[in-house]
Structure 1
Amino acid sequence: VERGILTANRMLPGPSIQVCENDKVVIDVENHMEGMEVTIHWHGIWQRGSQYYDGVPFVTQCPIQQGNT
């Protein structure tokens, strides 16, 4: 059975993000998938003050439309 996967920057595992304690990280996600809306789940990352950007589309956040950030 063949299945497609989605990756960040065509990498699996995705690229590492290394920061120091108390750093603030801003990540722009661009959706280039034709005809698909996306959301991002930041697995294992504590979402203090931004938990509404981590989850299921239309439940905890609006999906990112094709061609948008």
Structure 2
Amino acid sequence: MRRFAVIRVPTSGPPALVAQPNVFDSQDSADARIAEIEARQLMTHHTYLDTVAFEGPLMAAMQSRGISV
């Protein structure tokens, strides 16, 4: 089953999963999580949020892409 993880991608350093909830069954749900996070940010950060589609175990999928868990 295809799922979607929400990650943060800093200008320096490896990408990483955001705080839970961070895995969703649909792209729309993942995008809603990004909107929720961004709505609470008062300052510009040197990072952006993105989604990664994956299948199988979360840890293995993230490690294969170099994403910190």
- In the superposition, the TM-score normalised over structure 2's length comes to 0.23
Which of the two has greater helix per residue? 2
Greater relative contact order (Cα < 8 A, sep 6+): 2
Which of the two has greater strand per residue? 2
